[in-house]
A and B are shown apart, each in its own frame.
Chain A
């Protein structure tokens, strides 16, 4: 049975940076991730990652890939961790393809878009319902669309669509829109936007593609005729596979100043943790700290 020094779960800014540090400490390690770049790859333009005055998400993801590959690190791409357990004095990471053992782990699995959890959501995904406004927005030219959410990402989608779609309905569960004042003002000024506050989506229906969205507010249930649904209701941490690691109410893995979790040898970094700021550069820094923490843990335990 091969036991690695370290397994890094995730290949966004935190996971890749952890990998760079692990390589430079000559650890025997693996990175396991369904994709490379994580949420950073989804950013249109990044203007606050030091060293780049402007870089797009996909470009930064390519840079990450080049950087980690320069170290001959083993990157198991297209593979997803499904559980993390203690086994035979080591940690066992089970993925959808294989099992791997390591003496330490860095969890850097990030966050994913939250789902609505209503009938029709799964059936109409990619058939009018999308979690990526920036990707699929252009498909809804002159159509009527519903944007679900009331925070910055929802307002971003609304503003993006206001020049593309015919009518935009905003279904916001809170009593008023959140998000930056500047963006709220722009939404208010757009002529084709109707906001439903304190409202929920009940179901999404149609034929081959989305045709109707049923919503509920204090006035009762009503149906909107729309061909598109943009779900922008926030993110949830990809932390369910690590059952024994302590999490906060939001499901974020709790870490100390050295990125150690409640289980010695398991570290975590980036957006999957309770670190206060979710930023690409913060995640990268946290990844570095977590890898160095794992290195220290391995040295102290004389592995």
Chain B
């Protein structure tokens, strides 16, 4: 079954753009949470992941901080 993938991002963050491109290139469906769009998105990032920086990926509950390609690959089984 496909894993649930969520990415917390901001539109101006280069690594967010690259991380999303990486997911697209690997045909991984993901939910994009834009932290610049609402305070709710920021609160969710802080509460659920304990982080206050982007990008943060959540892959089936696994929290990955930053665009760490290897960890992302590992977590997705790529």
Contacts and interface: CB of A to CB of B under 8 A. Distances in A.
Contact of B10 (A42, A62, A125, A135): A135
B12 A139 contact: no
Contact of A126 (B14, B17, B39, B52): B52
B51 A126 contact: yes
Interface in A100-123: none
B35 A57 contact: no
Nearest to A134: B12
B50 interface: yes
Interface in A12-42: 37, 41-42
Given A78-B69, A132-B13, A138 B36 contact: yes
A133 B22 CA distance: 23
B8 to A, nearest CB: 9
B46 interface: yes
Contact of B18 (A41, A134, A139): A41
Contacts of B21: 58, 62
Interface residues of A, number: 30
B53 A136 contact: yes
Contacts of A138: 10, 12, 35-36, 42
Interface in B39-53: 39, 42, 45-46, 50-53
Contacts of B42: 138-139, 141
Given A126-B65, A209-B46, A135 B52 contact: no
A245 B54 CA distance: 36
A135 B13 contact: yes
A contact face: mostly helix, strand, loop, or mixed = mixed
B30 interface: no
Contacts of A142: 39
A148 B15 CA distance: 22
A216 interface: no
A65 to B, nearest CB: 10
Contact of B45 (A125, A134, A139, A208): A139
Contacts of A210: 52
A20 B23 CA distance: 27
A127 B51 CA distance: 5
A44 interface: yes
A237 interface: no
B54 A139 contact: yes
Interface in B2-42: 10, 12-18, 21, 35-36, 39, 42
Nearest to B42: A139
A293 interface: no
13 contacts: A37-B14, A44-B12, A56-B14, A57-B14, A61-B18, A126-B66, A127-B50, A135-B54, A136-B54, A139-B54, A142-B39, A208-B46, A209-B52
Given A44-B12, A58-B17, A139-B42, 18 more contacts: A37-B14, A41-B14, A43-B14, A58-B18, A78-B70, A126-B66, A127-B52, A128-B52, A132-B13, A134-B12, A134-B14, A135-B10, A135-B16, A135-B54, A139-B54, A142-B39, A209-B46, A210-B52
Interface of A: 37, 41-44, 56-58, 61-62, 77-78, 125-128, 130, 132, 134-139, 141-142, 208-210, 228
